[in-house]
A = this chain, B = another copy of it.
Amino acid sequence: MHSDAALRYFEDFSAGETFTTPEIEVTTAEIIEFARLYDPQHFHTDPETAVDSVFGRHVGSGWHTAALTMRLWFDHGPPVAGGLVGLGVDELRWGPLHGGDRIHVVGEVVETVPSRSGAPRGVVRLRLRTLTHRGTEAQHMLSAILVPSRAAAG
């Protein structure tokens, strides 16, 4: 959890700014646990038979990568007033994530768009890249969050 002192408002973001999170390790057990609940395809749940799949080895669900990216960004990305209120994602691309991979997220502010109605808020567009210690991209995402202006804080 972030302290309120460091909370960022819409005005505090500017295009081009980047943020880099620390690295976490993803285990094969975690990959299997997530997959059993949400994406129980054999190339996600069974390292043995995964070698015969199109991936050629055991890989995590892309939705697991997305969830882990959310957690890394929540824990270590810039603390945002009102929370990370996602408006949506415009692009989501995946590369393989394997057990034992260490991943971190690099976020870049692509654009900041004030409310057209003059309301005290705006949209911050972010590019979040989830990178492995192998130098590969496990996920690439363009997302938009709704951020209140300082004026909204009253």
Contact = CB atoms under 8 A, between A and B. Distances in A.
Contact of A91 (B70, B82, B90): B90
Interface string A86-98: 1111111110000
A21 to B, nearest CB: 14
A71 B39 CA distance: 6
User: How many monomers of this protein are in the complex?
Assistant: 2
A61 B54 contact: no
Interface residues of A, number: 33
Contacts of A113: none
A62 interface: yes
Contacts of A94: 86, 88
Contacts of A92: 88-90, 92
Contacts of A85: 54
A53 interface: yes
Interface of A: 34, 37-43, 53-54, 61-63, 66-68, 70-71, 74, 82-94, 146
